[in-house]
Amino acid sequence: MIRKCDITKDRDWIRVDKFTLKTMYDNVFAIGDVTEIVLGGMVTIPKAGIFAEAQAKVVAQEIIDQITILRLILNLMERAFVLWRWVVTKQDILK
């Protein structure tokens, strides 16, 4: 089924970033036997459960990091908005 999808890009397996396990599509990760992870342009990581499990942990951390960064940005935007409102209110009082 995977081989029929665009995600393999005419290959047998899904190519992923070896550090993040991200595919060519945003917010889509791939782990385990469906992936092909080439190291040093020559060796591929063997298709074994031990690697699939380790990859699952990497992806879980990637998703946690993405959510954490998003929350941080939203938090900063909220603080900036509160500060902006405070400045505008002060200016109105001084007029």
Ligand X SMILES: Cc1cc2nc3c(=O)[nH]c(=O)nc-3n(C[C@H](O)[C@H](O)[C@H](O)COP(=O)(O)OP(=O)(O)OC[C@H]3O[C@@H](n4cnc5c(N)ncnc54)[C@H](O)[C@@H]3O)c2cc1C
Footprint of ligand X on this chain (CB under 6 A)?
A: 1, 32-33, 47-50, 52
Closer residue to ligand X (CB): 24 or 59: 59
* Residue nearer to ligand X on the CB measure, 42 or 50: 50
How big is the chain, counted in residues?
Answer: 95
Shortest distance, CB of residue 91 to ligand X, whole angstroms? 59
Beta-sheet strands, E only, within the chain: 14-15, 35-36, 38-39, 43-44
Which CB sits closer to ligand X, 43 or 93?
43
Residue 14's beta-bridge partner residues?
35
Q: Which residue is nearest to ligand X (CB)?
A: 32
Report d(CA 48, CA 83) in Å as an integer: 53
Q: How far is the CB of 60 from ligand X (least distance, A)?
A: 14
Question: Rounded CA gap, 8 and 15, in Å?
Answer: 7
Cβ-based nearer residue to ligand X, 46 or 94: 46
Question: Could you tell me the smallest distance in angstroms from the CB atom of residue 49 to ligand X?
Answer: 3
Helix count (H) and strand count (E) of the chain?
1, 4
